[in-house]
Amino acid sequence: MGFILESKKDFTPLEDGIYQAVCVGIYDIGTQVNKFDGKERHKLIIEWEIQTGDTHYVYKTYTASLRPNSVLYKDLTGWVGKIEGSFDLEKLLGLNAQLMIKSVDVNGKTYFNVVNVMGVSKTMKPLEPKKKPTLYTLEQGFTLSDDIPEWIKNVIKNSKEYKMFLESVPFN
């Protein structure tokens, strides 16, 4: 007798469109090697919660840069308005946004890309997050809490900083 599992789709996938969402995660994933050009860049992931009957979580990875031509700068200014100098990303936790979502199929799996991030209208009722908002920075160390999604923990463990940390830990 085998061990048979069945795939069950008990949630409704997102359709392409604009959704109200609430920011529930900011994750510093350290220095990552870019798959396209092989260059190392400091990256972060922002996580949003979309409540459409089912609760969906969508993510966008950014280079940690506030240069005016960066994607992070473009999305932040569309979301919170003008940014001058520095910006504390922790202020985003619990903040509502409107996200333009576009689905993409890769090797038979559907991913939901956040194409654009915008602020919400003053007439929209704010969403309260169901999930505890989480901020993770490399300065917190590498004891990765259960509040961080497993796949993001694996990305952090692939960072240059994590690998340097492992090299510095004495083996008993």
| Domain-embedded: residue 49 | yes
Whole-prediction pTM: 0.89
Amino acid at 110: T
Structural domains in the chain (count): 1
67: CB partners within 8 A, 6+ apart: 73
| Domain-embedded: residue 54 | yes
Along the 172 residues of the chain, how does pLDDT read in single tens digits? 566 655 555 557 789 999 999 999 999 999 999 888 889 999 999 999 999 989 999 999 999 999 999 999 999 999 999 998 899 999 999 999 999 999 988 888 888 899 999 999 999 999 999 999 999 999 998 889 999 999 999 999 999 999 888 877 665 5
DSSP code at position 70: S
| Domain-embedded: residue 26 | yes
Cα separation, 117 vs 33, whole angstroms: 25
| Domain-embedded: residue 157 | yes
Is residue 118 within 8 A of residue 8, CB to CB? The reply is no
Amino acid at 109: K
| Domain-embedded: residue 111 | yes
| Domain-embedded: residue 100 | yes
| Domain-embedded: residue 6 | no
Domain carrying residue 86: 17-168
| Domain-embedded: residue 60 | yes
Q: Is 61 exposed, middle or buried (0-12, 13-18, 19+ CB in 10 A)?
A: middle
Cα separation, 49 vs 47, whole angstroms: 7
